[in-house]
């Protein structure tokens, strides 16, 4: 229920103030005079102190987090992370330095405060003590986005020049990688950081020219090179085609902010776990045909080979990733690719079940009365197919579209099967790129 009136000068401020008061009067609303602050150059709002140029964390809220004692239960841990997380836009690597703490909130695990949790708890407080101001964005100036990736997470920072012409942060962002994402190649992780970073700051970047900075040389050509030899990377490039930006490659040691936010966590972990890392090598146990270490489980076969046994909660996503990388080929091809590296009992049945639920395959496999002609395309935008599927209870209609060359899939819920609504959705899709030469529909 807080209302803030802001302007660049006193006269404009007073003009807006009287307009707001007039609107209050018209609606029968009253204001408590004791709670009103007039003509302030600095205000505190939603845990953040704002002046004309910068945003700073509220000292009251920050001190609540800094003075928090070590949590003794899940409820207390959730409270601490809630307080600290309020300032995650000020902390570049927040997601990466709270991995063990956030994991402890999942499921009905027995409460146990580990050395790793203690280390992260201390590190979060240290970051809170060293928070820097964030510049308030000026939408008349250009933006710069820096992104980076490491083994465990992604980092991004949005920057803009201050009054002295120096590039300073507007907002930090970080994301912990999922188990599947951690298996990505370096290029895939770096490209994921780019896509995630751009979409994270969509409000600031959409419709404006900006500069993207990366320390991964292979991504320097994403605006000039039509396609990479990697379907996943190509799909991500497709997602950001509507944005207007240039790409600048900068060596890691020169990247500064974004590189530091992904590397710092790794360096802290290396210091903390140096002795643990050495002892891990001797902690392998052989149990019948299974090899277990502290993080992964492997199946051992008679020929001496071994394959990773993914956790149950990771298997569906792993199948979907491989199936997509194979351009939605069938059970046999997906299972063959999967079993080169992984194993679990009933793996082929799992593949069959997931592929039956694949929406892209459902569209591609539908047959018309006259039979099906195998459709091929030689370039993006040459042929585009659409179909409508109904799912769930109550039934929901989903309009599905797919580019036959890139295999990029579009989907949107529609209310009715009318030409007007379908055309409206297609117009929305095609404003993001070229209109296809051929549209296929039954």
Do 206 and 234 lie in one domain? The reply is yes
Partnered with residue 329 across adjacent β-strands are none
Tell which of 129, 161, 190 closes a domain.
Answer: 129
Q: Write down the pTM of the prediction.
A: 0.56
Please report, for the domain that includes residue 253, its CATH number.
3.30.420.10
Q: Is residue 271 part of a domain?
A: no
- Whether residue 62 is found in the same domain as residue 32: no
In a domain, 47, yes or no: no
**Residue 211 counted as domain residue:** yes
Over the chain, what is the mean pLDDT?
A: 79
Tell whether 327 and 243 lie within a shared domain: no
Final residue before a domain boundary, out of 357, 385, 404 = 357
Indicate whether 148 belongs to any domain. yes
> Within 10 Å of residue 161's Cβ, how many Cβ atoms?
15
Per-residue H/E/C for 188-242: HHHHHHHHHHHHHCHHHHCCCCEEEEECCHHHHHCCCCCCCCCHHHHHHHHHCCC
Q: Report the number of distinct structural domains present in the chain.
A: 5
Q: Which of 243, 200, 157, 209 is nearest to 432 (CA)?
A: 243
**Residue 64 and residue 27 share a domain:** no
- What is the predicted pLDDT for the residue at 289? 41
Q: Which residues have CB under 8 Å from 224's CB, separation 6+?
A: none
**Is residue 275, in this structure, part of any structural domain at all?**
no
CATH of the domain at 317: 1.10.340.70
- Do residues 215 and 147 both lie within one domain? yes
* Same-domain check for residues 183 and 260: yes
* Domain presence at residue 51: no
How far apart CA 81 and CA 64 sit, in angstroms, is: 11
> For residue 239, what are the contacts with CB-CB under 8 A and spacing of at least 6?
195, 199
| Radius of gyration over every alpha carbon of the chain, rounded to an integer in angstroms | 26
Shared domain for 346 and 314, answered yes or no, is yes
Residue 284's pLDDT band (cuts 50, 70, 90) = very low
Given a cut of 80, whether residue 351 has pLDDT beyond it is: yes
Position 163 pLDDT exceeds 90 = no
Of the chain, the percentage scoring pLDDT greater than 70 comes to 84
202 & 242 share domain:
yes
Whether residues 143 and 243 fall in one domain:
yes
Residues 236 and 255 in one domain: yes
Residue 116: inside a domain = yes
Domain span at 16 = 1-40
Alpha carbon 325 to its chain's center: 20
CA-CA-CA-CA torsion for 429, 434, 440, 442, nearest 10 degrees?
Answer: 20
Which pLDDT tens digit goes with each residue over 202-228?
A: 989 988 899 999 888 878 777 776 567
Statement: residue 58 has pLDDT above 90: no
Q: Are residues 21 and 123 in the same domain?
A: no
pLDDT the model gives residue 195 = 93
| Long-range contacts, stretch 161-169, CB < 8 angstroms, 24+ apart | 162/53, 162/135, 163/53, 168/135, 169/132, 169/134, 169/135, 169/257
Q: Tell me the pLDDT tens digit for each residue of 363-382.
A: 666 543 344 455 667 777 78
Section 323-351 average pLDDT: 84
Q: What is the mean pLDDT of residues 306-327?
A: 83
pLDDT for 434: 67
Which of 79, 105, 129 terminates a domain? The answer is: 129
Query: Does residue 101 form part of some domain?
Result: yes
Task: Let me know whether 351 and 301 are in one domain.
Answer: yes
């Amino acid at each position: 229920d807080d209302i803030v009136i802001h302007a660049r000068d006193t006269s404009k401020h007073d003009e807006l103030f009287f307009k707001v008061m007039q609107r209050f009067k018209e609606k029968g609303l009253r204001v408590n005079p004791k709670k009103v602050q007039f003509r302030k150059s600095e205000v505190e709002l939603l845990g953040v102190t704002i002046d004309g140029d910068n945003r700073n964390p509220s000292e009251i809220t920050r001190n609540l987090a800094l003075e928090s004692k070590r949590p003794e239960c899940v409820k207390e841990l959730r409270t601490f992370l809630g307080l600290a997380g309020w300032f995650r836009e000020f902390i570049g690597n927040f997601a990466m330095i709270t991995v063990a703490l956030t994991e402890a909130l999942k499921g009905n695990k027995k409460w146990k405060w580990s050395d790793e949790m203690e280390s992260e708890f201390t590190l979060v407080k240290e970051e809170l003590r060293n928070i820097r101001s964030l510049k308030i964005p000026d939408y008349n100036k250009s933006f710069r986005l820096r992104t980076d990736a490491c083994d465990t997470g992604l980092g991004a920072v949005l920057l803009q020049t201050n009054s002295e012409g120096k590039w300073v942060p507007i907002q930090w962002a970080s994301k912990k990688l999922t188990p599947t994402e951690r298996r990505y190649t370096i290029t895939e992780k770096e490209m994921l950081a780019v896509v995630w970073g751009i979409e994270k700051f969509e409000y600031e970047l959409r419709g404006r020219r900006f500069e993207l900075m990366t320390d991964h040389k292979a991504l320097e050509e994403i605006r000039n090179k039509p396609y990479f030899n990697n379907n996943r990377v190509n799909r991500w490039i497709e997602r950001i085609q509507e944005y207007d930006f240039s790409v600048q490659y900068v060596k890691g040691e020169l990247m500064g902010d974004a590189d530091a936010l992904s590397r710092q966590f790794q360096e802290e972990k290396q210091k903390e776990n140096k002795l643990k890392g050495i002892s891990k090598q001797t902690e392998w146990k052989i149990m019948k045909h299974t090899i277990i270490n502290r993080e992964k489980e492997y199946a051992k076969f008679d020929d001496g080979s071994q394959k990773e046994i993914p956790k149950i909660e990771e298997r569906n996503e792993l199948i979907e990733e491989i199936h997509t990388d194979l351009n939605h080929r069938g059970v046999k091809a997906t299972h063959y690719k999967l079993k080169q590296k992984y194993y679990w009992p009933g793996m082929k049945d799992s593949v069959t079940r997931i592929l039956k639920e694949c929406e892209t395959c459902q569209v591609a496999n539908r047959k018309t009365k006259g039979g099906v002609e195998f459709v091929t395309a030689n370039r993006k935008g040459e042929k585009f197919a659409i179909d409508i599927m109904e799912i769930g209870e109550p039934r929901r209609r989903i309009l599905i579209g797919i580019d036959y060359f890139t295999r990029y899939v579009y989907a949107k819920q529609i209310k009715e099967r009318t030409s007007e609504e379908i055309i409206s959705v297609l117009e929305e899709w095609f404003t993001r790129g070229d209109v296809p030469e051929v549209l296929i529909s039954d």
